[in-house]
Amino acid sequence: MAWLHTQNILPEDITITSIGDQSIYIVQSLQNAILAAISGALLAMSVVYLFLGNLRRTLIIGSAIPIAIMFTCILMGLGGLTLNVMTLGGLALGVGMLVDNTIVMLENISRHQKDKQFNLDASTDAANEVSGAIVAATSTNLSAVLPFLFIGGLTGLLFSELIVTISAAIFASLIIALTLVPAFAARVSNQPHSAIRRFIDGSIELLQTGYAKLIDFLLGYRLLVIAAFIISLIVAYPVFVSGKQIFLPKLDDGRITVRIIADSGISLDEMDQRTQLIEQLFAQQPETATVYTLLGGSVYGRSQRETPSRASITVQLKPMLARQISSGEWIKNMNQLITQHQLAGFEVRMSQRGIRGIRTNSGDDDISLRLQGEHYQTLKSLANDITDKMKRIPGLSNVSHSAEEQQFELAITLDRERAALLGVNLQDVKQATQVALEGITISDFIDGDKTYDIRLRLAQSTMTNPQDLESIILFPATERSQAIYLGSVCSIKLLDSASTIKRENQMRIVDLTASLTEGTTLGEALLSLQQLRQKISLPEGYTLYDGGSQQTLDAQQQLTTILLLLALFLVFVVMAIQYESLLNPLIIILSVPFAAVGVALAIDFLALPLSMPVWLGLIMLVGIVVNNAILLVEYIEQNRRQHHDINQAIITAARLRLRPILMTTISTVVGMIPLAMGWGDGAEMLQPLAITVVWGLSFSLLVSLLLVPVVYHLFHSIRLTIGKRTEPYQA
C-alpha cells in the first residue's frame, strides 16, 4: 500500500484495508509444522539420553536426524514436492519414526560394547545381529503406506505428498542406521557413570528382571492373556462403527462467514441500520481482527445481484495464539448476543467454512439435501415443511433452502379484446412501460473525452406502486375520444417469484442446507436426517435425496477399508518373503489389530471424530506396530538357534529387548506429541493423525511386550506337540 501511495497511484484520501490474507495463515501453519518437527527431535533425543546416559551417543542420534531430513528433502526434490503444510507435517510425523532404526542399532552396539573389549568388533557383531530386524521393520513400514500413492481423487490429492514425505524419511532412516550409526558408535567408548546414571541403569535392569519374571508367569496362563486382549478388542470395536464420522477436520483460520436475511420489501436504509448494529457487536469482541460488510446483494466475480433484503459480513478473527476461544465458540457467543437484541424479521446465519476449494456435497454448507419435483409451489411448500423439521434436529444450525429467497416482479397482462376495441396494440404497451420504468436513450452528451447517454423516463418518485403504473397515459384525450390509460387495457400485479431456479437431470430441484454446530459430527447428522427422510411422506413424483455428503462418507469408509486390508496383506507378504516362513509372520501380524484398542481409547476420551486423518493413522500403524514384534521375534529365533529351550529363549529375548522396545516406542510417541497437541494455526489437519499414532502405538507397547511372547509360545508349542519339524531356525 505504501508503494502505491509513493507512486501516486492512490490519492492521499484513499485507504485500502486488507480484509483477508491467506499468506499469513499459511506462513503461521508452516512455522508451527517446523516447530513441531524441531521440538519432536529434541524430545526424542532426550529419551535416548535418558536410556543410554551418554552424550556422545545421544549426539549420534541428534546428527542422524538432520542428515535424514536432508536426505528426505533431496528425495522430495527429485519427486517435485514443495515445502507446504503436508510435507512439513510429514517431516514432523517422520521425526519420531526417523530415530527408530538408529535407536535399535545404537542400543544394541552399546550393549555389546559393555561385554567386549574392542569397540570395532562389538559394533560389527551388534550391527549384524539387528540389521535383519531393521530391514524387515522398514520394509513393513513402507509396504503399509505405499498403497496410498496409487489412489486418486480428493484423498490422493490431499495426502499423497504427506505419504511420499514419510516414506522418504523412513527410507532415509534405514540407510543411516545401517551405515553412519555403526561407524560413529564404534568410536564411542564407555565412560564412568555418575551416581544418577548408575541409579537409572539399575532401575532399567530391575525393570528388565521384573519383566522377565512376568513373562515367565504369563506363559503359564497363555489362553487367559489372549482372551483378555481379544475382549478389549471386542469392546473397542463399536467405537469405529458408531457413526461419529467426518470427512476432514475444519481448519480454524478464524474466517467467519455471516449471512443476514431480512423480510422481503425492507428498505435499504433500514437494512443498513440493522446490519450496522450487528457489525458493532462483532467489532466489539476482543477476538475480532477485521469486519467486512457487503450490503444490498452479492458480488461474484464480474457479476452482481441487487437484493436489498440480503447482506453478508466476513469476520476475520485473530490468530489462534492471540485468542482464547475457537471459531465455533465465537459463533455460539455471537448467536446468544444477537438473540438478546430480538431483531424481528431478521435472520443471522454464521458458519465456519472448511478447507477452501474442497466440497463434499452439492451445496455450500456442511449438509445438503435435494428435493426434486415438477411444480415450484409444491416444492416450496414441501421445503418449508422439511426445513422446519430439520431445525428440531440437535446439532444443526443455519437450516435453509434455496426457494426461500424471493423477489418481486411486475406482471402486466394485456386484455387483448379490450385493447383491440380501443385500438391499442402490444407495441404501444411495451413502449409505455419501458419509458416509465427503464427509460429509453434518445441522445448523448459529450464532455471532453467522455460520452454520456441521455435517457428519457418518468420521474421515479411518480412510480412507487402498481397503481401508479395504471395511470400511465397511452393515448391522450382528443375531441373524439377520452384518454386511454395503461390500466384500461392491462391488469398489473406485484408477484413474488423465485430468485433462482435450479435443475438436475432436467428436473426442478430445491437445495436444503444446514451447518453443523460445535461438537456434532457429519455422520451423526446424516443418521438423524436419514431417520427424518424415512418419516416424511412425499407426493407422487417428488423425491428427497442426499446431496453428496453421505456418498462422500461411504466412499471414504470403503476406501479406507480396502487400504487397511491391503496394508495388512502387504506387510504379511513382505515378512513371509523375508522369513521364508508363514508362522512367525502370522504371529507378528496378529498383534496389529490390537493397536485399534488404543485408538478407540483416544477417540472416546478425547471425543475425536473419525476422519480421514484418523484412518490414515490406523493404516500407518499397521506398518509401525510390527516393528517391536519383529525385534522381539527375531531375537527369540536367534536364541533358539543357540539351542535354547523355547521358554528360556522367550524370557531371555524379552529381557534383552525390553530397553530398545521402550526406547523406540517412547521416542516415536514423544516425537509426535507436539503435533498431537495441535498448537497453532493449521494443526487441525494432522493432529488427528498424530493422536491416532501416539495412542495406538502406546497401547501396542503392551501388545508387543505381553501378547506377542505368549502367542509365539502357544503357536510354536502346538507345532512341536503335533510332531512337525519346525522351521523358525531358518527364518
Instruction: For residue 300, give every residue at least 6 positions away whose Cβ sits within 8 Å of its Cβ, in sequence order, or none.
Output: none
Amino acid identity of residue 246, one-letter, is: I
The pLDDT value given to residue 497:
67
Which of the 8 DSSP states describes residue 460? G
Which segments of 79-118 does DSSP mark as H helices, in order? 85-115
| Length of the chain as a residue count | 731
Q: Tell me the β-bridge partners of 295.
A: 311
Cα 277 vs. chain centroid, distance in angstroms?
35
Give Cβ neighbours of residue 13 (< 8 Å, ≥ 6 apart). none
Measuring CA to CA, how many Å separate 704 from each of 178, 595, 709? 24, 10, 8
Do residues 439 and 425 lie in contact, with contact meaning Cβ atoms separated by under 8 Å? Answer: no
State the cell numbers at 115: 561385554
**DSSP structure class, residue 146:** G
pLDDT along the chain (731 residues), means of 10: 70 73 68 74 80 78 81 81 76 73 81 66 78 83 77 72 82 85 77 71 85 89 91 90 79 83 80 87 88 80 73 85 83 86 81 66 74 83 87 84 74 84 82 81 83 82 76 76 81 73 77 82 84 86 82 81 85 82 87 90 87 85 84 84 81 86 84 78 77 90 90 86 53 42
DSSP strands (E only) in 524-640 = 543-546
Report the Cα 220 to chain-centroid distance in Å: 46
* Other C-beta atoms lying within 10 Å of the C-beta of residue 408: 10
Residues 293, 311: Cα–Cα separation, whole Å = 7
3-state secondary structure 647-686: HHHHHHHHHHHHHHHHHHHHHHHHHHHHHHHCCCCCCCCC
Using CA atoms, how far apart are residues 557 and 561, in angstroms rounded to an integer?
A: 6
Adjacency order of strands within the sheet including 346-352: 288-300, 303-317, 255-262, 346-352
